[in-house]
Amino acid sequence: MTFVAALLFFSYKVLADRNKVIHLELNNTSYVELLAYNDAKMTTVNERSALRDILLMINELSVAPVDINVAPVSDKFINIYDKAFRRTAIVKAGSHLKVGDNWYLMDDGSAKRFDKIFEEYNN
């Protein structure tokens, strides 16, 4: 019985991590910049509790890789800086997400979760 429970737990973790685009850790993050061009706002977040909430929401985004020949118009950006001040840029354009040079398609729940970050922290 314990073996079956352990097997179910590990298979759930593998399946849950399969569609994740990025994994960020609080201990490796210095600060986050939220940029929204439609509102002309930029917010820098370096408070530890807010950083934790933002990183958890980003880590929960579920996406599928897509090929895009023409990049859609981007309206929201999140720049994440690690302790060595290297930047990881996440760009949202409609229901598409760009991390590095790769584009992904978000489901509706992930798109709403991404927008919620800006509603709560970019004020």
Share of the chain above pLDDT 90, in %: 58
In the DSSP assignment, the letter for residue 40 is: T
pLDDT tens per residue across span 76-98: 999 999 999 999 999 999 899 99
What are the domain boundaries of the chain? 2-121
Q: CB within 8 A of 46, min separation 6: which ones? A: 30, 31, 32
- 106 contacts 62 by C-beta, under 8 angstroms: yes
Which residues are 29's β-sheet partners?
Answer: 82
Question: What pLDDT shows up at residue 54?
Answer: 95
The predicted model scores a pTM of 0.80
| pLDDT tens for each residue of 11-51 | 555 554 555 667 888 999 999 999 998 878 899 999 999 99
The amino acid present at 19, given as its one-letter code, is N
Compute φ and ψ for 119, nearest 5 degrees. Answer: -60, -40
| Overall fold of domain 2-121 | Immunoglobulin-like (2.60.40)
